[in-house]
Structure 1
Amino acid sequence: MASDSGDVADTRRTVTDVPTVPSPRQYDDPQRWWILAACCTVAFALQAEPFLWMIGYEIPSSAFGTGWNEYRILASLGVLLFVAFQIIGGVLGDLLGRRKILLIGAVGATLFNLFSLLAPNLLALTLLRAMVGVMGALAFPLTLALIRLTFEGTERTRALVIYTFVTGVGVLASLLGIPFEYWWGWRAALVLPIVVGAVGLYLAWRYVPESRAQGGFGRFEALTAAAWAMVFLAAMFGLVMARLSGTWFNPITVTAGVFSALGLLLLIVWTQFARRQNLFRGAANEVPRHFLSLLLLVSAALSFGLVGYAQMLYGFFFTARQLPGFIAGVALAPVFLGNLFILRWAARFTTSQPAYVSVGGGLAAMGVAMLLTALARPNTPYLFIIPMMMLFGIGFLIASASWAYFFFAALPADLIGLSSGLNRAAGLIGSGLSGVLLATVLALSGTADFKLRMVDLTLTPQQQAVALQAVDTALRQGITADDIAQAPGAIVGLGLMAAYREAFSVGVASALVLAGAVSLAVAAVAWFWLRGVKRAEEAALKT
């Protein structure tokens, strides 16, 4: 990292990327650890943001989560918006300055969080929370990009492992919004991201130097890669939503189609402009679109597994095990806290093993953990579930850290912001798909199992529908399987709430089996693909 000034104490110096011959000072400067602290703090604050349903968006309780359909549509539309701004943030960081865009996004997210405290109604709160997400999407990919830019070699792997762990804990910390809202009101749920965000802002302003792309991959290829990523990710999201809804004219697929069309239009217009202006730098600087698509697919699969596993387990603890919301969140702690004991080993493992072993093996561990967790039932002791959660957490830590290293190495270093934006955007698509797809599987499988249990009780289809309505009523009234004194006689006599708990756990198991199968399939793809890349590199060295 070359500096315009020789003064090391000037923490706001301007730097220039040198992707081929890195300066030793870039990696020996003690300031790099403050840069890591700044990036991790900003990323933690953005990940710790409570979801809208935790702070005012009322979702009626219903059997198998069918009352969440309206919220899922809103959340899916938000995913498409945030994907676009993740990519835009990465591109703007490369072209205009990474420190500048990081600070703009982090300041904006913190300010809109403060404005959210003054929201007079749900509509205003929803719009302000959308702006928090947009500004956070601008900043988030640059937290990862700056770590990639600042560290090299084994230190980079350690830094990525730490970053992965911190952001994972941030996801868990977002669940604090549930008890905070219950005890002190929804505004209290915003205190954590505001305070941590302010600390991250100070660290970023004080220690993060300015940097931007110069030459190398070039501006033409940057916009081309960004446009193709938008086309691919939006199309993938829209196709899955069309399949789930049974129609092409649902609002999510239509919006995804608009985003995909915009990306395709930008790709065509910019390509024609570049040809006229002679902006092409040659095929050696371009990333093949099939290669970029595979990169995005694996990134999406990692987030699909993480978010899906966390959501399904939370639902299992909250509904099937009947734990309070906050306790159900705390019960997920082994997924991340177990990694505290293996951080050093994970860093050594990802450094010493080839990418196909660490990425493919990590994804496989995630898949196996999900399949084993699917065996859990409401009466399964919690201690038996802890090893599965720890296995999943270890697999995710290794696969995610190693994949981030490979992802950045596969794309030109001159566009590290764009690389991070693409990685995070693909992750958003994966998490959005997991929320909708796995919830749909849970509802279909759980409802089918519940009806089978009602058939065993010799109930007619009409009586089964009444029984399901009775469960909806009981859930809205907060009645659990143990609160039989409050329940209507029909629910007591038929044991509907106990049957519902069992059926819900079957739905969770079905969703986890699907998620586990996806992880194992992507693990196989990553293993053979990355092994082929490794062999190609070795063959090139021999020649």
Structure 2
Amino acid sequence: MDTLTSETVAPHPRRWWALGALVASMLTLGFDMTILNVALPTMAADLGATTGEQQWMADAYIVVFAALMLPAGLLGDRFGRRRMLVAGLGVFLAGSALGAFAGDVPWVIAARALMGVGGALVTPLALSVLPSLFPPEERTKAVGIVSAGSTLGLPLGPILGGWLLDHFWWGSVFLINVPMAALGIAACVLLLPETRDPSSPRVDTLSTALTAAGLGTLIYAIIEAPARGWSDPLVLALFAASAVLIAALVVRERRVARPMLDMGLLAHRGFLFNTLAATLVMFVLSGLMFVLPPYLQAVLGHDALGTGVRLLPLMAGLIVAARAAQPVVDRFGARAAVSAGLVVMAFAAFLGSRTTVETGYGFTALWLVFVGVGFGFSVVPAMAGALTTLPADRAGSGSGLLMTLRQVGGAIGVALLGSLLAGAFRDRLDVTGLPADAAGTAGDSVVAAHLIAEKAGSAQLAASANGAYVHGMTLVLLVCGAAALVAALLAAAFLPAAQAGRDAESADDDMAAPTADARQ
């Protein structure tokens, strides 16, 4: 078997078949993210999961993914990208099988964390092999096809997940990954040539450990704070520990000769503020995708399939933006596109905050379209702008830092906004007349409150749960709107008016990895 270096650009005879293997890999990951959002209310009912436990089901994947993505990419560069891709899909398959047959919440969280390990291996490597397979004139097309594979999972995930939940048990949303990952493994083994870059930096075990420990401690503190109180000694200790760990990471990365996370990139104004904009966009979007499915299922009363279908207006808005964003960037510049997209997201969130228990789905569909439009106009130009401000020899490290910070934004969005929702729901819920145990269970989540209301035959409790959840969702949307508006003002004030950098073809190559990541 011939081993190609990362500099090889001659056309590979099996390159289009190999591209099919990469698409299968990315489609598997694309399904998983949106399937889980639809499944969380059902899992909460069947497993008795609190809102905090649901947050961990979502965040366990993201925290591990963010912590391991950079070292996983380096492992592939040094030891073979196909080998690590196959290993990543195998780990993802094992995590999915564990999740499918998990009997309680801790095992589901463990399965999600294991899937995060696999996802961290697959995501950067699926795109890093493209320069070795395709010459420059074909590379942009190849990047678009792989990115489309991941994108396709977003709208199909909720629908597939909803159908599975309507016909099978909740574990089926994990089990569906098993044959898809197996197909990806077979395709990679049979079709994908081995490539590597032995000159890449070594994996820094200490930096990886500091990243995982710092992020995990921060997320744990945010999730525990509503139940324990923000001034609780344990919560304060966790915040302090996370600050120390992250500070230690920054200090170490600034001192090593070849850092995994090149903090010096943040000295570039264009990179810093574009990255901040993209991170805040993921903060907003991740929080919204966490709070919406319980509203559609528990408050509006739709089944799992109906919930998945009703998330599609978000994708419709994203499709519109995908077509319109580039002409806007060409005409008015990336700063205008990013700022306008963030303003649209802020408008959508503020509009959504007007939701009441009696509003109905039509109003939700309206502001979801605006969310998709705002997301599409802001995130891709922001990522492109971040990378095109950097010298060509730092594009790789810039992509890694950008991808990592975006994942951190998503994890903190789920943790912080989910915690805000949990606290507001618990404070507003009227549990008068319920036994202490039942009252405590009802306060865990809107799904649990409806189950208690059904057992007790209490229409009053069900109505109170709906009102309390909508109140919490309103607060979340107001915070999302404020965050998007602040990001828009920062973008308008500090982003460079014109992006200086490499030619369009080179920029397209550098956008490969973060573009696919944006669609997960």
TM bucket, shorter chain = 0.7 to 0.9
TM-score (norm 2): 0.73
Q: Contact 2:268–2:389 at 8 Å: present in 1 too?
A: no
**Separation in structure 2 between the aligned mates of residue 158 and residue 352 of structure 1, nearest angstrom:** 26
Deviation, 1:515, is: 0.8
Cα 1:91/1:118, change in 2 over 3 Å: same
CA deviation after TM superposition for structure 1 residue 170, in Å: 3.4
The equivalent residue for 2:122 is: 139
Q: Which residue in 2 is equivalent to 1:5?
A: none
Written as runs of structure 1 = structure 2, the 5 A alignment for 1:200-239 is 200-205=184-189, 208=192, 210-212=194-196, 219=201
Residue of 198, 214, 230 corresponding to 2:182 = 198
Q: CA deviation at 1:408?
A: 3.8
Deviation at 1:194, TM superposition (A): 2.2
CA deviation vs aligned residue, 1:135-183 (integer Å, no higher than 9, x gap) = 2212223334456886869974994597278347337616744653563
How far apart, in 1, do the equivalents of 2:466 and 2:160 lie? Answer: 25
Q: Distance in 1 between matches of 2:149 and 2:371?
A: 13
Aligned residue identity for 1:170? L
Change (3 A) 1:32 1:372: farther
**Cα distance change, pair 115–315 in 1 and its aligned pair in 2 (3 A):** closer
Deviations for 1:344-384, whole angstroms, at most 9, x for unmatched residues?
44455456653222333222222221221222223324333
* Pairing of 1:103-252 with structure 2 (within 5 A): 103-114=86-97, 127-146=110-129, 156=140, 159=143, 163=147, 166-167=150-151, 169-170=153-154, 173=157, 176-177=160-161, 180-181=164-165, 183-205=167-189, 208=192, 210-212=194-196, 219=201, 245-247=230-232, 249-250=234-235
Specify the SS of the correspondent of 2:265. coil
The change in CA–CA distance for 1:205 and 1:519 in structure 2 (over 3 A counts) is farther
Is 2:68 the partner of 1:85? yes
Confirm or deny: 8 A CA contact 2:89 2:185 kept in the other structure.
yes
Match of 1:469 among 422, 425, 439: 439
Residue 477 of structure 2 corresponds to residue 512 of structure 1: yes
Structure-1 residue corresponding to 2:378 = 399
Specify the code of the residue in structure 1 equivalent to 2:7. D
**Are the structure 2 counterparts of residues 322 and 74 from structure 1 closer, same or farther at C-alpha, using a change threshold of 3 Å?**
closer
Check 1:433–1:471 CA distance in 2 against 1; reply closer, same or farther (3 A cut). same
Q: Residue 17 of structure 1 is aligned with which of 7, 10, 21?
A: 7
Larger Rg: 1
What is the identity, as a one-letter code, of the residue corresponding to 1:472?
A
- In 1, the alpha carbon distance for the partners of 2:390 and 2:191 equals 26
- Give the residue type in structure 1 aligned to 2:253: L
Partner of 1:325: 304
Partner of 2:416: 437
Deviation (angstroms), 1:286: 5.5
1:287 is matched with 265
> In structure 2, which of residues 313, 331, 336 is the aligned counterpart of residue 357 of structure 1?
336
Q: Give the RMSD, CA atoms, in angstroms.
A: 5.0
CA contact (8 A) 2:162 2:307 kept: no
Is the alpha carbon distance of 1:295 and 1:384 closer, same or farther for their aligned partners in structure 2, counting shifts above 3 Å?
Answer: closer
Supply the distance in 2 between the matched residues of 1:98 and 1:416 (Cα, whole angstroms).
Answer: 19
Q: Does residue 376 in structure 1 map to residue 355 in structure 2?
A: yes
Name the residue aligned to 2:249.
263
CA contact (8 A) 1:47 1:167 kept: yes
Tell me, yes or no, if the aligned pair for 2:353 and 2:473 is still in contact at 8 Å: yes
Q: Secondary structure at the match of 1:287?
A: helix
CA contact (8 A) 2:52 2:418 kept: no
Distance 1:293 1:240 in 2: 25
The answer to whether the Cα contact below 8 Å between 1:91 and 1:222 also exists between their aligned partners in 2 is no
Which stretch of structure 1 is more off in the superposition, 147-156 or 103-112?
147-156
State the secondary structure of the residue aligned to 1:531.
coil
1:309 alignment partner in structure 2: 288
| Offset, 1:512 | 0.8
Output the CA distance in 2 between the equivalents of 1:83 and 1:159: 22
**What is the DSSP-based 3-state SS (H/G/I as helix, E as strand, rest coil) of the residue aligned with 1:249?**
helix
- Paired position in structure 2 for 1:423: 402
Q: Is the 8 A contact 2:329 2:381 kept in 1?
A: yes
Cross-structure match for 1:7:
none
User: What per-residue deviation string (whole Å, max 9, x for no partner) do you get for residues 71-127 of structure 1?
Assistant: 535765654333211121133334444444333312332244346667688766654
Q: Structure 1's 117 and 335: CA in aligned 2 closer, same or farther, altered over 3 A?
A: closer
CA contact (8 A) 2:283 2:409 kept: yes
Select the residue among 364, 385, 388 that pairs with 2:367: 388
Residues matched between the structures, number: 491
Q: Contact 1:59–1:67 (CA<8 Å) still a contact in 2?
A: yes
Q: Can you list the C-alpha shifts for 1:282-316, whole angstroms capped at 9, x where unaligned?
A: xx995345756645533322221222122222222
Partner of residue 527 from structure 1, selected from 492, 509, 513: 492
1:301·1:518 contact (CA, 8 Å) conserved in 2? yes
Structure 2: distance between partners of 1:179 and 1:417:
40
How far 1:500 moved relative to its partner? Answer: 3.0
Give the conservation status (yes or no) of the 8 Å contact 2:420–2:472: yes
1:247 offset after TM fit, Å? 4.2
TM-score normalised by the chain length of structure 1 = 0.71
Contact 2:60/2:109, CA 8 A, preserved across alignment: no
Superposed CA deviations along residues 13-55 of structure 1, whole A, max 9, x for unmatched, are 614338xxxx6x67xx897666655444322212323659959
**Where do 5+ consecutive residues of structure 2 fail to align?**
503-520
Q: Which residue of 1 aligns with 2:505?
A: none
Decide whether aligned partners of structure 1 residues 93 and 221 sit closer, same or farther in structure 2, where only a CA change above 3 A counts.
closer
- Partner in structure 1 of residue 30 of structure 2: 47
Task: Using the aligned pairs only, state the percent identity.
Answer: 20
Residue 530 of structure 1 deviates from its aligned partner by 2.4
- Superposed displacement of residue 443, structure 1: 3.3
Q: Which amino acid aligns with 2:120?
A: A
Change (3 A) 1:472 1:294: same
Quickly say closer, same or farther: Cα 1:307–1:322, change in 2 above 3 A: same
Contact map agreement 2:61 2:114 (CA 8 A) in 1: no
Structure 1 residues 309 and 203, CA, compared in 2 at 3 Å: closer, same or farther? same
